[in-house]
């Protein structure tokens, strides 16, 4: 299939600016929505609805044992008592989860005020917390306790009943909701305590749009697959990892460039077929095959205009490789102009 004939299933690969065309072999790689289950377990993501009780690390351990895989990871730790969306990357898909930290997160929190506060006064205090705020992680956090700046995009009172308040918060990744509620209580004077928290959004994944998966649903799906060879329910739970990359620009490359990148090469102009319109230097991008598979993450060294005007030179510096080497055949000799090396080859005297 040629690039111009392909209809990508992901929004970031639609409406690209095309520089050249090329074909892809059906013998190598897979269209993301048609991966076999064993490949999906290496390049997949689960939108888990974490229950209260276990830690995020315990959930990961259970999922690895349940699916029989060696590697899995999560995006954004949730405290044991917190429920809601915990994106779980499977296999090589864990390498793409860092992109989700670039998008906002949404929480619903129940706070208990230590004294009754009039609604108008509470709403006025909320306005002071919208925008950039200073936060220092709590003593029990897993990160270094240094003051940092975080952005609160929205903060509203959904409902108030006496001293109980339901809050909705949209914020930057790494924001401590418990600390926000504590600080609100300090400004109000009587104090406030968070008693319940649920995460409903991570980047481009929303509770009201995407179906979150409970642990027992995943257990049922894998049991049905193993006992009846019916993969329907499992495919409805494990999504292609490419869905995590919706918010960053995309670049499509030739098949002949793929394995070289997987072995440490940088991406030069001749290997680029298309890119998101208006792409600029220094932007973080996803590098994709003609089939729409993610190869890795890169930083743009050229804009689209530069790529169109150039016949050689490094167009993108690879920052993280996601695809396993050997997925596509080696083509370094026949297409040497497609790649370049970031470091010289070691030689012996």
Query: pLDDT tens-digit profile of 76-117?
Result: 899 999 999 999 999 999 999 999 999 999 999 999 999 999
Q: pTM, whole model, 2 decimals? A: 0.90
**From the CB of residue 97, how many other CB atoms can be counted at a distance below 10 Å?**
20
Q: Higher pLDDT residue, 349 or 102?
A: 102
Residue 342's pLDDT is 40
Is residue 288 over pLDDT 70? yes
Asked if 343 and 265 touch (Cβ cutoff 8 Å), the reply is: no
Is residue 307 over pLDDT 50? yes
Q: What is the mean pLDDT of residues 259-264?
A: 95
Residue 340's pLDDT is 45
Is residue 142 over pLDDT 80? no
| Topology given in CATH for the domain delimited by 3-30+248-341 | 2.30.130
CA 105 – CA 152 distance, rounded (Å)? 10
CA 237 – CA 326 distance, rounded (Å)? 27
Is residue 280 over pLDDT 80? yes
Stretch (H or E) spanning 201: strand 192-202
Is residue 339 over pLDDT 70? no
Residue 345's pLDDT is 36
Asked if 320 and 297 touch (Cβ cutoff 8 Å), the reply is: yes
**Is residue 259 helix, strand or coil?**
helix
CATH code for the structural domain at 37-101+207-241 = 3.30.2350.10
Q: What is the mean pLDDT of residues 108-136?
A: 93
Portion of the chain with pLDDT greater than 70, in percent: 93
Is residue 337 over pLDDT 60? no
CA 222 – CA 233 distance, rounded (Å)? 8
Half-sphere exposure of 43 (CA within 13 A, CB side): 23
Confidence of residue 185 (pLDDT cuts 50, 70, 90): very high
Catalytic residue, chosen from 22, 79, 210, 306, is: 79
End-to-end CA distance of the chain: 47
Is residue 334 over pLDDT 70? no
Q: What is the mean pLDDT of residues 266-278?
A: 96
Confidence of residue 5 (pLDDT cuts 50, 70, 90): confident
**Is residue 131 helix, strand or coil?**
strand
Q: What is the mean pLDDT of residues 34-49?
A: 97
Query: pLDDT tens-digit profile of 212-223?
Result: 999 999 999 999
86 φ, ψ (degrees, to nearest 5): -130, 95
213 φ, ψ (degrees, to nearest 5): -110, 130
Burial of 139 (0-12, 13-18, 19+ CB in 10 A): exposed
Confidence of residue 299 (pLDDT cuts 50, 70, 90): very high
Closest Cα partner for 97 from 71, 69, 79, 66? 71
Query: pLDDT tens-digit profile of 193-209?
Result: 999 999 999 999 999 89
**Is residue 81 helix, strand or coil?**
coil
Strands 238-240 and 43-50, by their bridges, are: antiparallel
Q: What is the 3-state secondary structure of 21-49?
A: CCECCCCCCCCHHHCCHHHHCCEEEEEEE
Rg (CA), the chain: 23
Q: Do domains 37-101+207-241 and 104-202 have the same CATH topology?
A: no
Residue 333's pLDDT is 57
Kindly indicate whether the domain formed by 104-202 is annotated with CATH number 3.30.70.3190. yes
In the block, tokens 């998008």 appear at 103
Is residue 44 over pLDDT 90? yes
Burial of 229 (0-12, 13-18, 19+ CB in 10 A): exposed
DSSP state for residue 165 in the 8-state scheme: E
CA 286 – CA 19 distance, rounded (Å)? 17
> CA-CA distances (angstroms) from residue 89 to 101, 176, 226, 248, 280?
13, 23, 21, 18, 29
> CA-CA distances (angstroms) from residue 205 to 48, 63, 250?
11, 20, 18
Portion of the chain with pLDDT greater than 90, in percent: 84
CA 231 – CA 223 distance, rounded (Å)? 10
Output the six-digit token pair for 132. 């950039």
Residue 253's pLDDT is 97
Is residue 347 over pLDDT 50? no
- Domain parsing of the chain, residue ranges: 3-30+248-341, 37-101+207-241, 104-202
Is residue 341 over pLDDT 70? no
346 φ, ψ (degrees, to nearest 5): -65, 135
79 carries an active-site annotation: yes
Residue 55's pLDDT is 95
Q: Higher pLDDT residue, 144 or 208?
A: 208
Q: What is the mean pLDDT of residues 26-54?
A: 96
CA 327 – CA 303 distance, rounded (Å)? 28
Averaged pLDDT score across all residues of the chain: 91
């Amino acid at each position: 299939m040629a690039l111009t004939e392909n209809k990508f299933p992901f929004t970031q690969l639609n409406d690209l600016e095309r520089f050249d065309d090329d074909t892809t072999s059906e013998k190598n790689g897979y269209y993301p929505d048609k991966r076999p289950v064993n490949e999906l377990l290496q390049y997949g993501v689960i939108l888990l609805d974490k229950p209260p009780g276990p830690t995020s690390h315990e959930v990961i351990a259970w999922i690895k044992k349940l699916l029989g895989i060696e590697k899995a990871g999560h995006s954004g730790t949730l405290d044991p008592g917190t429920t809601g969306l915990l994106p779980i990357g499977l296999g090589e898909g864990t390498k793409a989860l860092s992109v989700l930290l670039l998008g906002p997160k949404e929480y619903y929190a129940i706070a208990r005020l230590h004294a009754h506060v009039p609604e108008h006064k509470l709403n006025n205090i909320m306005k002071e917390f919208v925008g950039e705020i200073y936060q220092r992680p709590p003593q029990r956090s897993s990160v270094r306790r240094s003051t940092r700046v975080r952005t609160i995009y929205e903060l509203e009172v959904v409902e108030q009943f006496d001293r109980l308040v339901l809050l909705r918060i949209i914020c930057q990744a790494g924001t401590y909701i418990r600390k926000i509620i504590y600080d609100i209580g300090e400004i109000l004077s009587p104090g406030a305590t968070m008693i319940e928290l649920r995460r409903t959004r991570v980047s481009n994944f929303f509770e009201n749009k995407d179906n979150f998966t409970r642990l027992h649903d995943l257990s049922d799906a894998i049991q049905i697959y193993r006992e009846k060879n019916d993969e329907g329910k499992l495919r409805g739970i494990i999504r292609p990892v490419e869905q995590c990359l919706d918010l960053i620009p995309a670049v499509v490359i030739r098949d002949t460039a793929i394995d070289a990148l997987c072995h440490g090469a940088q991406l030069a102009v001749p290997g680029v077929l298309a890119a998101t319109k208006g792409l600029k230097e220094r932007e973080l991008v996803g590098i994709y095959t003609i089939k729409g598979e993610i190869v890795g993450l890169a930083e743009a060294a050229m804009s689209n205009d530069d790529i169109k005007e150039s016949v050689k030179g490094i167009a993108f510096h690879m920052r993280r490789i996601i695809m396993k080497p050997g997925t596509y055949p080696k083509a370094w000799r026949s297409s040497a102009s497609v790649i370049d090396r970031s470091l010289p080859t070691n030689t012996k005297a």
